[in-house]
Amino acid sequence: MILSDSNLLQSDYIDGKYHKTRLITNLVIERIREIKDKMVKARKYVVKRHFQGVPKRDDFEIVEYELPPLKDGNFTVKSEWISVDPYIRAYNPNIPTPYDQFSFQLGKVVESKNPDFPVGCKVVSHKGWCDYTVFDDLVEVEIGFASVYKLPDLHGLPEELAVGALGMPGVTAYFGLLEICQPKAGETVVVTGAAGAVGSIVGQIAKIKGCRVIGFAGSDDKVEWLEKELGFDKAINYKTADVRKALKEAAPNGVDCYFDNVGGELTAVIYSQMNKFGRVSLCGCISSYNDDPSKMTKTTTLLPSILFNQLKIEGFIVSRWASPENRWPEAISQLAQWIKSGNIKTRSHVTEGFDKIYDAFIGMLAGENKGKAVVKV
C-alpha cells in the first residue's frame, strides 16, 4: 500500500538518488508508525484446552493482538457488557481447541466503514470475551446465533439488560416457557435454577400467566429473594430441604409444567410428581456440565414417570427462534413492557473489569449470582 502512494513516487524525480532513498526510508517509517497508532491493541480470552471438571483459570489465555485495519463493510466494536452463562461451559467438549471464548456482549461502534453500523451505534453480538472486535463477517457463528444485531429499544431500561432479561436469557425464558410448556392459568409451574438469569424470568412470566409458581434455588438468601421480591408462591432450598416432601407440600395438586435448568436427581423428583399430560421444557442441565462426557452421571431413570403420566419433554436452544424466522424482537418487546410495568423485576450481578471475566464465570457456575451474572468492561 505504501509503495503505491503517488506523493511518495512523485518525490523520487525531484531529488537525487541518495536523497531519494533516505526520503523513502523516512517516509516508510513515518507511515508505519502512523498506521500502528491507528491500529487498536485488542485482547481476547482463548480457550486453550477442554475443561476437566470445573474450568481452571489456566484453561484460558488472554491473548493481546492488533486489530486489522478496516476494509469496506467492517467496523470496530468496543465491548461494554460481557455475559457469562452456563452454556459456555456446556459447549466446551464439542468445540476443537484452541478457540476464542464466545458469549453474548454489548458494545459500541468506535470505528466504521459500514454505513449500517455507524460510529456510536450500539450492538449486541456473540463475539464473546474480548475488549475490541472487528466485525468483518455477518454470518452465523458456531452455535447458531446471528453474529450481530443493533441494540433494541430498551425504553430507558439499563443497557446491560440487552445481554440479560432483554437478551438471550430473557428470550430463552419467554419462548422456552410459553411455547414449550404452554402454561395455563391455575396450573402449577416448577422451575429449577430459579434465581438465575433465565429461571428468575421464567417464574415471573408464569405468575403473569396466572400460574402457581414454585422455584428451586441453592441458598436461603435466594429463596427469600424469590418469595419476597419476585412473587414466587414458594421457593425451596434444594441443598437443605427434603425436596420430595417440600414439593408435595408446595404442589399438593401435582406439577403441570416444569422448566428445567439443572437436571440431576432433583429433576427425577420433580418428574415423579408431575400430572398427566405435564410438559417439560428442558433448557439446561447444569448439574452435569462438569461431568466427563465419556462417563456421564447415572441418575434415577425418568422414563416410567414420562410414560405413565404421558409427559412431553422437549430440549431446546434459543437460536431456534432466531432463524429461519426471527422472533426475538417479539419476546424482547413484550419483556420490556413487563419490566417497565413492574410485572417483571430484574437484577444484575455485576463483576467489573475485563480481567475478571473468568472469576465471574466460575462464580456463576457455582451459583453465586442472584439474577443475571454480567461483566462490565
**Min CB(141)–a copy of itself separation in Å:** 17
Using DSSP, state whether 37 is helix, strand or coil: helix
192 binds a copy of itself (CB under 8 A): no
Question: Considering the rule CB under 8 A, would residue 254 count as an interface residue with a copy of itself?
Answer: no
**Residue 70 contacts a copy of itself per CB under 8 A:** no
Q: Is 294 in the site for a copy of itself (CB under 8 A)?
A: no
- 245 in contact with a copy of itself (CB under 8 A): no
> Which neighbouring-strand residues pair with 77?
109, 133
- All three cell numbers of 78: 468496543
Name the residue nearer to a copy of itself (CB basis): 47 or 266: 266
Count residues near a copy of itself (CB under 8 A): 35
- Is there binding between residue 302 and a copy of itself (CB under 8 A)? yes
Of 26 and 94, nearer to a copy of itself (C-beta) is 94
Q: Give, in degrees to the nearest 5, the angle at Cα 180 between 104 and 331.
A: 45
Residue 208: all three cell numbers together:
403473569
3-state secondary structure 229-259: HCCCCEEEECCCCCHHHHHHHHCCCCEEEEE
Q: Exposed e or buried b for every residue in 167-177, given b needs 16+ CB within 10 A?
A: bbbbbbbbbbb
299 binds a copy of itself (CB under 8 A): yes
Stretch that binds a copy of itself, among 162-170, 224-232, 296-304, 367-375 (CB under 8 A): 296-304
Residue 52 CB, nearest approach to a copy of itself (Å): 17
Chosen residue from 260, 336, 344, 371 binding a copy of itself by CB under 8 A:
260
Pairwise CA distance, residues 52 & 141, whole Å: 25
Q: Does 95 bind a copy of itself (CB under 8 A)?
A: no
Q: For residues 239 and 174, is the Cβ–Cβ distance under 8 A? A: no
In the complex, what is the shortest distance from the CB of residue 344 to a copy of itself, in angstroms, rounded to a whole number? 25
Region from 232-240, 314-322, 324-332, 337-345 binding a copy of itself, contact rule CB under 8 A: 314-322
Query: 43, 78, 312, 347: which one contacts a copy of itself (CB under 8 A)?
Result: 312
Q: How far is the CB of 316 from a copy of itself (least distance, A)?
A: 5
Stretch of 6-14, 119-127, 226-234, 302-310 contacting a copy of itself, by CB under 8 A = 302-310
Task: For residue 193, give Cα distances in angstroms to 203, 210, 223, 300.
Answer: 10, 21, 11, 20
With binding defined as CB under 8 A, does residue 186 bind a copy of itself?
no
Q: Does 190 bind a copy of itself (CB under 8 A)?
A: no
Least distance from C-beta 71 to a copy of itself, angstroms?
Answer: 34
Query: Which SS3 state, helix, strand or coil, does residue 359 take?
Result: helix
Task: Tell me the C-alpha distance between 263 and 285, whole Å.
Answer: 4
d(CA 350, CA 345): 16
- When asked if residue 310 is in the footprint of a copy of itself (CB under 8 A), the reply is yes
By the 8 A CB rule, do 50 and 323 touch?
no
Binding-residue pattern over the window 338 to 357 for a copy of itself, x denoting contact by CB under 8 A: --------------------
DSSP 91-148: HGGGSPSSEEPP--EEEEEEEES-TTS-TT-EEEES--SBSEEEE---S--TTS--SE
Interface with a copy of itself by CB under 8 A: which range of 134-142, 229-237, 309-317, 342-350?
Answer: 309-317
Rounded Cα distance, 111 and 170, in Å: 30
**β-sheet bridge partners, residue 76:** 111, 134
- Options 311, 331, 360, 377; binder of a copy of itself; rule CB under 8 A: 311
d(CA 281, CA 215): 14
Nine-digit cell at 276? 398427566
Here the cell at position 144 is 447458531
For the CB of residue 44, give the shortest distance to a copy of itself in the complex, in Å: 25
Smallest distance, a copy of itself to C-beta of residue 265, A: 9
Site for a copy of itself in 262-291 (CB under 8 A): 263-264, 267-268, 282-285, 288
Q: Which residues bind a copy of itself (CB under 8 A)?
A: 90, 94, 260, 263-264, 267-268, 282-285, 288, 296-317, 320
